[in-house]
Amino acid sequence: MAGRRRWSTEEILDTAERLLRTSDADSFSVRRLAAALGTDSSSLYRHFRNKTELLRAVTDRILIAAMDGYRPEGDWKQCITTVAMRVKEAFGRHPQVAAIWGRYASGGAGSRLVIEEVLRALRASGLPDEEIPAHYHRLAILFAALISSEGAVESVTPEEREQGLESFRVAVLGADPERFPALAHFGRDIRPLHENRHAVFEAILAAQLTQIEARIPRPAPPAGV
């Protein structure tokens, strides 16, 4: 009788990514993954100790793909924006994984690549070294929150999206103007969460970078000026 095939780590992660395109993290399981590979769960535990470790490996591989071929260009703000957009676009191809990125953040090679480039850009900005970790932390939370939120929106079914739009219309356009006067006043200009998210991501990121820029010490003027 032929022995059971041995799957490589990359083949396991390929299959996990495919499963996650049609299911969320809660319904994803090592058992389902093993069934898709035609093996048993015990063989996968030789590669990953548990589901959490496997999902972290999936997210890290997406970060590695995001940073593939990256070369710093432009000033520090352009570098951070480029890294952020690369990560956003990479997770945009895997919305189910994007939705869980904040929960299963990796500590692997992909994560280190992103952290290194953001820290390098912040140091190039002229910020004092003691302030850089705090600003990095804020940017990391911003990236994860916005990208996870976008992934959650993109992973809903068309039926769920239409139901959400209908609920939005009722909540916003049907609001009682006496009880919700501001909502009634601005209602026709309020947009659903999924609209124009790309531009909103860039605008929020730009605002955060502007705040950082304001913290950069300015050189003292020449004496006698």
Query: How much is the pLDDT for 65?
Result: 94
Report whether pLDDT(131) > 70: yes
- Does residue 144 sit within a domain? yes
Spacing of C-alpha 143 from chain mean position = 6
Q: What is the pLDDT of residue 196?
A: 75
Sign of CA dihedral 127, 133, 138, 143: positive
Residue 135 belongs to a domain: yes
CB 95 within 8 A of CB 155: yes
What's the mean pLDDT in 6-12? Answer: 88
pLDDT digits (tens, 9 = 90+) for 81-109: 999 999 999 999 888 888 888 887 777 89
Q: Does residue 66 contact residue 110 with C-beta atoms inside 8 Å?
A: yes
Does residue 136 lie in a domain region? yes
Q: What is the pLDDT of residue 160?
A: 84
In a domain, 177, yes or no: yes
Residue 191's contacts (CB-CB under 8 Å, 6 or more residues apart) are none
CB 94 within 8 A of CB 17: yes
- In percent, how much of the chain has pLDDT > 90? 52
- pLDDT tens digits, residue range 153-204? 887 788 988 888 888 888 888 889 999 999 999 988 888 877 777 788 999 9
pLDDT confidence bin for 70, thresholds 50/70/90: very high
Its domain, for residue 114, covers 56-214
CATH number of the domain where residue 112 is located: 1.10.357.10
Q: Is the pLDDT of residue 1 over 60?
A: no
Q: Is residue 11 part of a domain?
A: no
The total domain count for the chain is: 1
pLDDT of 56 > 70? The answer is yes
Identify the pLDDT of residue 2: 45
Label residue 118 by pLDDT band (50, 70, 90): very high
Q: What is the pLDDT of residue 4?
A: 61
Token pair 């026709």 is found at: 188
| Arithmetic mean of pLDDT, 204-216 | 95
